[in-house]
Amino acid sequence: MTKIHKIPDVVIKRLPIYLRYLQQLMERDIDTVSSQQMGEDLNLNPAQIRKDLSIFGDFGVKGMGYRVTELAEKLISILGLDKQINIALVGVGNLGAALCQYNRYQNTSTKIVAIFDGHPAKVGQKIGNLVVHPMEDLSKVVKELNIKMAIIAVPAQAAQGVADQLIDCGIKVILNFAPTLIQVPPGIKVQNADVTTELQSLAYYL
């Protein structure tokens, strides 16, 4: 599906939430759902849900709501999840190894297909069904496996160097688990996943 540019990041981040919710409804054999019901279940404003979805087309049916399967299929297409997206994971410490094992058993289109580490002692080890590559192989493997996305799970001090290497290999989308901000040139999308800051923000509600 042709991408619509200049969509706010906050909208894009809500689309997978809608998709997961719809897939759960499908598992329960629910055929239709209203934006009101979606809002109640997801703790979101129904008007915001309608506004988000209307950016990409007219999916609702007046008086009935959304056809669950149809909308789920549309969201899969919008997000580009109708094809497998190959991912490289850099850093196979405790977090990286856990991410690799978790992804292995998820039936999704985003698949970790290659893992890398800068420590010679870890190179050649097997995690799940993948063997750890040295960083020197990054460019070659990215090209061979048509890798489009990368996950950084290295210590903070190594994150920027890893990001630079990934970008040099043609990677344009990065999920960063390192507890630091990385600098990237225009056209590169980075999403930070810092567990510590998430917990700190939740502490406000205690």
Note the pTM of the prediction, 2 decimals: 0.87
Residue 3 has pLDDT above 60, yes or no: no
- E strands within the chain? 32-33, 60-61, 65-67, 85-90, 110-117, 126-127, 130-134, 149-152, 173-176, 189-192
Distances (CA, A) of 168 to 49, 67, 162, 184: 38, 43, 10, 11
Is position 65 annotated in a ligand binding site? no
pLDDT, one tens digit per residue, over 124-144 is 999 989 999 999 999 999 999
Domains in the chain, please, with CATH?
9-79 (1.10.10.10), 85-198 (3.40.50.720)
Cα first-last separation, the chain: 43
What pLDDT digit, counting tens, does each position of 180-189 carry?
Answer: 999 999 999 9
Say if residue 131 carries a ligand binding annotation: no
Query: When comparing pLDDT for 31 and 4, which is higher?
Result: 31
- Are 194 and 159 within 8 A, CB to CB? no
Render pLDDT for 86-134 as a digit per residue (tens, 0 to 9). Answer: 999 999 999 999 999 888 777 678 999 999 999 999 999 999 899 999 9
* Other residues' Cβ atoms within 10 Å of the Cβ of residue 7: 14
Look up residue 154 and give its DSSP letter: S
**CB 97 within 8 Å of CB 128:** no
95 annotated to a ligand binding site: yes
Residues ≥6 apart with Cβ < 8 Å to 23: 72
> According to the annotation, is 92 in a ligand binding site?
yes
Residues forming beta bridges with residue 112, ordered by sequence position: 87
Place of tokens 């094992």: 101
Neighbouring C-alpha atoms within 13 Å toward the C-beta of 9: 4
* Cβ atoms within 10 Å, residue 120: 8
Q: Report whether 96 belongs to an annotated binding site.
A: yes
Residue 195 in this model has a pLDDT that exceeds 90:
no
On whether the CB atoms of residues 162 and 184 are closer than 8 A, the answer is no
10 is in an annotated binding site: no
